[in-house]
Amino acid sequence: MTRDELAESIRRREDVVTRVRKVLVEALAVRRELDEIDPDAPLFGTGLGLDSVDAVELVVSLETEFGIRFPQSTSAKRAMRTVGTVTDVVMFLMGASP
Amino acid sequence: MIDPRVAIREGVAATRSAHMRAMRLSGGDGAWETVSLLCASEIFLRDRQMLHGLWLDDRARPIFDVYVLRDDDAFVFVGESEMDVVAHARDHLRGGAVLDDFATTHDVISLNGPFAWELLGELFGPDTIGLPYLGALRRDATWVLRAGKTGEFGYDLIVAKDETARLTARIDEVGARFDLAWAALDVVEQCMLENWFFNVRREGRASLDVTPLELQLQWRASRKRAFIGSEALAERRNRGIARRVITLVSSARMNDGDDVALDGERIGTIVNAGGARHGSVEASFVALALVDVAWAHPHVDAFTVGGLAARSVTPPLPNNRSLAINLQQHAYATRDEIAFGPLWDR
């Protein structure tokens, strides 16, 4: 991969991260500015402080925002740990390399 | 004896956490004023509830990675630091606040592992098993705090010094049924690294001149109020950061201070180099690197560290077994019946 291709790949990921941040602020009412939400910020418990009820809302909101469908699986908890892990799953489900 | 790394990831390990500092702040409004000044985080706490906070110095560098526990009208702080945070707190007491240093009166013992909850229940009673994350309770002279930085169930026990020997013996006695190992600090730090838990002694050390912005710890720093370091933090935010911390893996050992390069150009430095992940795993070595923000992203496989290939990944790395634990159904004795996924799959 050339440096330009790498920069383009990073830009595509940043676009998805920005949209995930917007979902957190607008649909989940996370009281933070968008640039306050770091790429690897934890989502639940500590971190951004989401709870188990928010988890359902987050999945529904991400499915709507990105036109994807989250599979029911035992790996769901792992996928929802940070902004970054959510971004990985969203990009995978969109058919894009994360 | 079981490898302490295996104990943390698959069973339970205990640690004599002599590196942790604990203190209690009381004194009504003065205590509230003091904690608001010292702690960068937003402080909304019910009684017996904790938050994972951060104290900064006046340059916005982290000095205390701290759990703040509300204890009626007082606060208990327990955490990790490289500096004398008790003296720092005493220098900033407000309005009649009183600080009690636990260094001479209490010890901290930590339990970590996917079955730490079960051992805790045996030690302190079954009602302790359901203690929620960032919850706390008191048993006689011991504070039980649900915390942990390994990605597994974790508890910090603040125990009165005259009770430490008895509790330690009890942990050994009951822990034998859990194949308990005592884990040294370096083992816990490796697990912290693998699970993306901040280490104030490593990537947070003062010489790196990093703030919550570079460390991806903005969730622990309020933008809505003043505290020690808030002006410096706002100034750096307005100026924009040049570097950010990311996680790298490599098949070769990485060392603190190693250059991180992209196409032969130096773009960063290793700031927290760990040992190998236990078990047979590709790209076994883990490190944190402080790199130019333009390249501070996961899934970049073109980095080199010390001339050898490294790639950035999305933390946390382990598929922690604690995520698959059901407290009503599971037990260490029947752990082989639990369908855990692989600990490492990347």
CA B333 – CA B190 distance, rounded (Å): 26
**Chain A contact set for B52 (CB, 8 A):** 46
Report the pLDDT averaged over residues B258-264: 97
Helix (H) or strand (E) segment spanning residue A81: none
Q: Using CB atoms, pick whichever of B262, B295, B323 lies closest to residue A77.
A: B323
Q: What is the pLDDT of residues B178-203, one digit of tens each?
A: 999 999 999 999 999 999 999 999 99
Residues B101 and B158 sit within 8 Å (Cβ to Cβ): no
CA distance A23 to chain B (A): 17
Which of A81, A86, A92 is the best mutation test for B, with the most CBs of B within 10 A?
Answer: A81
Q: Which amino acid is at B160?
A: A
Q: What is the pLDDT of residues B54-66, one digit of tens each?
A: 999 999 999 999 9
Q: What is the pLDDT of residues B115-165, one digit of tens each?
A: 999 999 999 999 999 999 999 999 988 999 999 999 999 999 999 999 999
SS3 state of residue B276: strand
What fold, for B197-313?
A: Elongation Factor Tu (Ef-tu); domain 3 (2.40.30)
Chain centroid, CA B4 distance in Å? 17
Q: Which residues contact B126 (CB under 8 A, 6 or more apart)?
A: none
User: Residue B239 — φ and ψ, nearest 5°?
Assistant: -75, -30
User: What is the pLDDT at residue A75?
Assistant: 66
CA B131 – CA B135 distance, rounded (Å): 6
State how beta strands B181-182 and B13-16 pair: parallel
The token pair at B227 is 């505290």
Residues of chain B with CATH 2.40.30.110: 197-313
Average predicted confidence (pLDDT) for chain B = 96
**Chain B contact set for A32 (CB, 8 A):** 218-219
Residues of chain B with CATH 3.30.1360.120: 4-189
What fold, for B4-189?
A: Gyrase A; domain 2 (3.30.1360)
**Residue B56's closest CA among B66, B69, B67?**
B66
**Residue A27's closest CA among A67, A54, A66?**
A54
Chain centroid, CA B10 distance in Å? 19
CA A14 – CA B275 distance, rounded (Å): 31
Q: What is the pLDDT of residues A55-87, one digit of tens each?
A: 999 999 999 999 999 887 756 778 899 999 999
CA angle (B153 as vertex; B319, B115 as ends), nearest 5: 90
Q: For B154, what's the count of Cα atoms within 13 Å in the CB-facing half-sphere?
A: 21
Q: Which amino acid is at A34?
A: L
Residue environment code for B307-325, b if the CB has 16+ CB neighbours within 10 A, otherwise e: eeebbbbbbbbbbbbbbbb
Which domains are assigned to chain A? 3-93 (1.10.1200.10)
Assign 3-state DSSP to chain B and report helix, strand, coil percentages, each to 5.
25, 30, 40
CA B135 – CA B75 distance, rounded (Å): 14
A65: contact with B, CB 8 A cutoff = no
A46: contact with B, CB 8 A cutoff = yes
